[in-house]
Amino acid sequence: MNRMLKDIGLKATPQRMAILDFLKDNTSHPSAEEIYEAVAKRFPSISVATVYNTLAALKDKGSLLELTIDPAKKRYDPDTRPHHHLICLGCKRVSDIVYDFVLDLPGQVAGGYQITGNHVEFYGICPACGQNKDQKKTGQEG
């Protein structure tokens, strides 16, 4: 992790190491605020700017994906392999979908672009939110 920070031009501070540690294998697609809150538990002196600057540097070097699938806040994905996402409209949970969809754009739709990739987003209601909705309908909240 020290090397990764040096490769992107950042000093390897304990706070930045904690950010990388939090992101490592993280599949929750956290926002910058969630990352800050998690790291601040260990390092109360960390600044929000440190989190944003570290995330921006990681994104610029291709070590982190910035997701704009939630209009209220950007989320971050340390898995930079090509993959897609499934988003719950209830709780906003984001799940990875690792599957190659065969999508072909006809020439007139592509408008001369040379297509280099795609990202598919699926929206729905996760099982937990669906169950909560069913319980509210039948008055079985608990």
pLDDT in tens, 80-126: 999 999 999 999 999 999 998 888 888 888 888 988 888 899 999 99
The amino acid at 105: L
Question: What's the CATH class of domain 1-79?
Answer: mainly alpha
Please, are residues 90 and 126 in contact by the beta-carbon 8 Å criterion? yes
Say whether pTM exceeds 0.85. no
For 81-142, CATH gives 3.30.1490.190
Name the nearest CA neighbour of 75 among 19, 33, 118, 21: 33
- CB of 22 within 8 A of CB of 11? no
Does 141 score more than 60 pLDDT?
no
Q: For residues 125, 127, 130 and 132, what is the CA-based torsion angle, rounded to 10 degrees? A: -130
Extents of the domains making up the chain = 1-79, 81-142
Nearest to 97 by CA among 113, 115, 79, 110: 79
Residue 97 to residues 7, 13, 19, 63: CA-CA distances in angstroms? Answer: 29, 33, 24, 19
Q: What is the pLDDT of residues 38-97, one digit of tens each?
A: 999 999 999 999 999 999 999 999 999 999 888 888 999 999 999 999 999 999 999 999
Q: Give the contacts of 105 (CB within 8 A, at least 6 positions apart).
A: 115
